[in-house]
Chain A
C-alpha cells in the first residue's frame, strides 16, 4: 500500500524518533511510505485556541499535499492531529475557505488515520512482529480515545509485542492536562492534572509510559523528567518498530543513571 506520512510539526521538529519509527514500521510491513515534502502543520493549535482564519492555508496545504489519489491512506503518529484533520478541517474550510477546499478536505479526511487505526483497521494487522522486553504502561490520550474512538486497538497491538510486560494504568482514561495552549493558559489546573497522571504512571512501576501522541507524551514526559523519575516516555510507534534485529534502546533517565 502507498501510504502518505504526515510527520506533524511537533513530531518533525521535536520528536523525530516517533516519526522515524512510524516510517520504519510501515516499511518493514512491506508498504511504500511517501513523505510529501511541502507538508508543515495541521493547524490544530490554531483552531483549538480560537483561530480559524489563520489556519486556512494550513488546511489547504494539507489537502494539496495528501490529496494525490495515488496516496491510498494518510497516517500520522498523533491522535490529536488526526482528530483535527477529520473533525476541524471541514469547519475551517466551510467557514473561511471555499467550496473547492471543502471538497478537497472531504476527500482527504476519509483516508486519514492515526497509526493504530491504520494498522488494525486498514492493514488488518495486530502482531507487527515487534520485540520490546520492558515493562510498559499505556496512556490512551483523549483525542484517540474520545474523538477518534480507537478503542482498544493500541492495546491489542501492544499485547502482541514479544517480551513486553504490559501493565494497566490506573485511571487511564483521565486527561493528562496537556490540552495544547490550555497547559499555558491554565497552567495551575493543568499541573494539578499532570501530578495525578504522573502519580498513576509511577504506581505501575513501568520502565516506559507510551501513547499514540507525542504532545501528551511531551507533557507527561516533562513532568516525569522534572521529578527525575525512572520512567520515560516512548511513542507507541517506537515500541512497535522495535525488533530483535533493530531494538529500540531506552533513553537514559537521571534515576536510572544514579
Chain B
C-alpha cells in the first residue's frame, strides 16, 4: 500500500468556495423569514411531514429488533470511516475487475469535468438522470448545460423541480413544497404535448410523467446516477428507488456513469442486510421500497456495457478530519430527520440554502463547504437553525447525535468568529455568574427595574434589540419581588419549610411515603 503524504498530515480542504450548491445567498433566519410567510408552503409541509412521520413510526415499530439494527448500522458506518482508505482501494479494485472504470474527483468541479468528458466521448448530447444528491451538490446539470448537454431528471419530484426551474427542498421528496395543484400547473406549462385537461389527481400526474419520460428512457444512450451504497468487498453498487426510473437509467442506456461520495462505501455485501431494513423504513416509511438495483461492473448481455464510477471528495475528507463532526458522514440520506424536525417543518428546505437541508444538512453543509469562507457566511447560521429538541437523533437510523454535532459546530463557529457583541455579552454573563456575590447583586439590581418596566400588569411586552424578536410574539414576566435565595433566607421561607416538614410528619404514616434510603 502506498502512502502519499510526506511529513506532517495536512488538514484536508473544504469544497471550494463559489462552486456547487452547498451555500445559500442568505442566512437561515433571513431566508426563513420569507419562507414562513408562504402559507401554501407551510400547509404543504405540515401535511406531508405528518403523513410520513406516521408511516415511519408504524413500520419501525413493527420490527422487534429495530434498535439493534440501528446499533449495527451506526457501528458499520463508523467502522467504514475508520477504514476508509483500504475500503476505497478495495472498491476500486473490484469495480475494475468486473469491467468498470474508476475515476477520482478532488472536488465538484473536477467531478463535473470528468462526467462531462465521459458524456462527450459517447457522442450524445443528452443524458438521463436518476435522482442523486451528489450530482445536485456539485451542480452537474448546470455544468452539462454549459457544454451543450441536456440532462433529463427522471425522478418524479426532481422532474417537477426541473420543469419549474425550482430548487429541491427535501432529500427524499425534492418537491415536497409543492402540492398537487401546483404540480398540475407545472406539468401543463412545461411538458411538451401534455393533455391540456390534465387534472391534479396524483395518479394522473404520475401517468403524465411516465408518458413524457418513456421516450427518453428508450432513446438516450447515457445515464448518470448516484449510489446509495458501494460494497468494497464485491464492487457492487446500489440504487434504492420507487418509480422504476432508476431501473430504467441503470438498465437501458449503453453507458452508465455513477457519481458517489467516498463516504457511501460499505465494507461487506452482508452489510446490506442491515441497511436494506434501515433505509426504506426510515425514508418512505415502507417495509421495502419498490425497487432496489444492485450491479457489479458490467454484465455481458444485460444492461450498460460501459460503466464509470466517479468517487467524489468535495469536502468529505475535511469532515472526516473532525473527531466529532465526522459522525455526519454516517448519514444514509433517508431524510427521517427532516420529517421530524419542527424547524424544517416550518421553514422548509430552501431556507438552508444547500442541497442538504434539515438537521443533517445543518451539520453536514458547514463541514463540507465551511462556515467562514466569506464575511457573514450563510453557512455559519446553519448550526443555530435548531431548537436542539432532539427529535432528529431519535429518528436517525444510524444514530447520528445531531444535537451534539450542532452544539459542537456552534462552538467551532464562536471560536473562529471575530469578537461580536454576543461574545462580549457571554463573557460578561459568565464573569458575573462565576462570582456568587456579584450574581446576587445583579439579581437584586434587575428586579426593581424589570418590575418598573413591566408596570401594573406585571409583564413586559417590548424589549430592545436583539431581544425584540422574543417580544414580537411573547410577553416576559416581571421579575418577582424576591429571588428564591432571598425567600429562603427570609422568615417567610423558614416558616413555610417548617410548616411543610410538620405537614409531612402529620401524614408520616401516609401509605405513599416510602423512603428507600
Indicate if A touches B (C-beta under 8 A). Answer: yes
Judging by beta carbons under 8 Å apart, are B387 and A179 in contact?
yes
Check B375 for interface membership: any CB of A closer than 8 A: no
Judging by beta carbons under 8 Å apart, are B410 and A48 in contact?
yes
Give Cα A173–Cα B505 distance, bound, in whole angstroms.
Answer: 38
Judging by beta carbons under 8 Å apart, are A14 and B480 in contact?
yes
A222-258 CB contacts (< 8 Å) to partner B: 222-223, 225-226, 243, 245-246, 254
Judging by beta carbons under 8 Å apart, are A50 and B503 in contact?
no
Q: How far is the CB of B33 from chain A (nearest CB, A)?
A: 5
Judging by beta carbons under 8 Å apart, are B510 and A129 in contact?
yes
A10-41 CB contacts (< 8 Å) to partner B: 11-17, 19-20, 23-25, 27-30, 33, 35, 37-41
Residue of A nearest to B427 (CB): A54
Q: Known interface pairs A28-B501, A186-B384, A246-B500. Does A226 touch B461 (Cβ–Cβ under 8 Å)? A: yes
Q: Known interface pairs A14-B480, A174-B342, A182-B384. Does A50 touch B407 (Cβ–Cβ under 8 Å)? A: yes
Judging by beta carbons under 8 Å apart, are A185 and B29 in contact?
yes
Q: Known interface pairs A14-B480, A43-B430. Does A7 touch B422 (Cβ–Cβ under 8 Å)? A: no
Contacting residues, chain A, for B516 (C-beta < 8 A): 122-124
Check A100 for interface membership: any CB of B closer than 8 A: no
Give Cα A52–Cα B387 distance, bound, in whole angstroms.
Answer: 18
Check B433 for interface membership: any CB of A closer than 8 A: yes
Contacting residues, chain B, for A222 (C-beta < 8 A): 470, 473-477
Contact of A58 among B347, B411, B430, B470 (CB under 8 A): B430
Residue of B nearest to A52 (CB): B411
B423-475 CB contacts (< 8 Å) to partner A: 423, 426-427, 429-430, 433-434, 436, 439, 443, 446, 457, 459, 461, 466-467, 469-470, 472-475
Give Cα A214–Cα B388 distance, bound, in whole angstroms.
Answer: 17
Give Cα A142–Cα B436 distance, bound, in whole angstroms.
Answer: 29
Q: Known interface pairs A12-B443, A30-B515. Does A143 touch B510 (Cβ–Cβ under 8 Å)? A: no
Contact of B500 among A27, A180, A189 (CB under 8 A): A27
Check A168 for interface membership: any CB of B closer than 8 A: no
Q: How far is the CB of A40 from chain B (nearest CB, A)?
A: 4
Q: Known interface pairs A192-B36, A194-B474. Does A146 touch B394 (Cβ–Cβ under 8 Å)? A: yes
Judging by beta carbons under 8 Å apart, are A46 and B430 in contact?
yes
Q: Known interface pairs A49-B426, A182-B386, A182-B387. Does A218 touch B477 (Cβ–Cβ under 8 Å)? A: yes
Give Cα A167–Cα B350 distance, bound, in whole angstroms.
Answer: 37
Which among B36, B347, B470 has the highest number of chain A CB atoms within 10 Å? B470
Judging by beta carbons under 8 Å apart, are B473 and A246 in contact?
no
Contact of A27 among B430, B472, B501, B517 (CB under 8 A): B501
Judging by beta carbons under 8 Å apart, are B388 and A182 in contact?
yes
Contacting residues, chain A, for B487 (C-beta < 8 A): 16, 20
Interface string of B502-517 (1 = CB under 8 A from A): 0111011010111111
Judging by beta carbons under 8 Å apart, are B433 and A16 in contact?
no
Check B483 for interface membership: any CB of A closer than 8 A: yes
Give Cα A129–Cα B499 distance, bound, in whole angstroms.
Answer: 15
Give Cα A243–Cα B504 distance, bound, in whole angstroms.
Answer: 11
Give Cα A55–Cα B407 distance, bound, in whole angstroms.
Answer: 14
Give Cα A16–Cα B346 distance, bound, in whole angstroms.
Answer: 34
Judging by beta carbons under 8 Å apart, are A194 and B473 in contact?
yes
Check A200 for interface membership: any CB of B closer than 8 A: no
Check B421 for interface membership: any CB of A closer than 8 A: no
The secondary structure that dominates the B interface is helix
Give Cα A219–Cα B42 distance, bound, in whole angstroms.
Answer: 22
Interface string of B371-403 (1 = CB under 8 A from A): 000000000000111111111011000000001
Q: Known interface pairs A35-B485, A51-B414. Does A189 touch B394 (Cβ–Cβ under 8 Å)? A: no
Check A190 for interface membership: any CB of B closer than 8 A: yes
Check A191 for interface membership: any CB of B closer than 8 A: yes
Contacting residues, chain A, for B466 (C-beta < 8 A): 184
Contacting residues, chain A, for B389 (C-beta < 8 A): 142, 146, 175, 179
Which among A20, A173, A184, A189 has the highest number of chain B CB atoms within 10 Å? A189
Which among B434, B480, B507, B512 has the highest number of chain A CB atoms within 10 Å? B434
Contacting residues, chain B, for A192 (C-beta < 8 A): 36, 42, 346-347
Contacting residues, chain A, for B429 (C-beta < 8 A): 45-46, 54
Residue of A nearest to B443 (CB): A13
Contacting residues, chain A, for B459 (C-beta < 8 A): 225
Contacting residues, chain A, for B32 (C-beta < 8 A): 186, 188-189
Contacting residues, chain A, for B299 (C-beta < 8 A): none
Check A221 for interface membership: any CB of B closer than 8 A: yes
Residue of B nearest to A244 (CB): B503
Contacting residues, chain A, for B443 (C-beta < 8 A): 12-13
Judging by beta carbons under 8 Å apart, are A28 and B500 in contact?
yes
Check A107 for interface membership: any CB of B closer than 8 A: no
Give Cα A88–Cα B434 distance, bound, in whole angstroms.
Answer: 17
Check A9 for interface membership: any CB of B closer than 8 A: yes
Judging by beta carbons under 8 Å apart, are B488 and A40 in contact?
no
A118-139 CB contacts (< 8 Å) to partner B: 122-129
- In addition to A13-B443, A46-B426, A51-B426, 17 A-B residue pairs with Cβ atoms within 8 Å of each other are A30-B508, A49-B410, A54-B430, A58-B434, A125-B512, A129-B507, A146-B391, A175-B342, A177-B387, A183-B470, A183-B474, A186-B28, A187-B470, A191-B469, A191-B473, A219-B474, A226-B473
Chain B contacts to A: CB under 8 angstroms? 28-29, 32-33, 36, 42, 342-343, 346-347, 383-391, 393-394, 403-404, 407, 410-414, 422-423, 426-427, 429-430, 433-434, 436, 439, 443, 446, 457, 459, 461, 466-467, 469-470, 472-477, 479-480, 482-485, 487-488, 493, 496-497, 499-501, 503-505, 507-508, 510, 512-517
What are 23 of the A-B contact pairs (CB < 8 Å)?
Answer: A1-B515, A16-B480, A19-B484, A20-B487, A23-B500, A24-B497, A29-B504, A43-B430, A122-B516, A126-B512, A128-B512, A129-B510, A147-B390, A175-B342, A179-B387, A179-B388, A182-B388, A186-B385, A191-B469, A194-B473, A222-B473, A225-B459, A226-B461
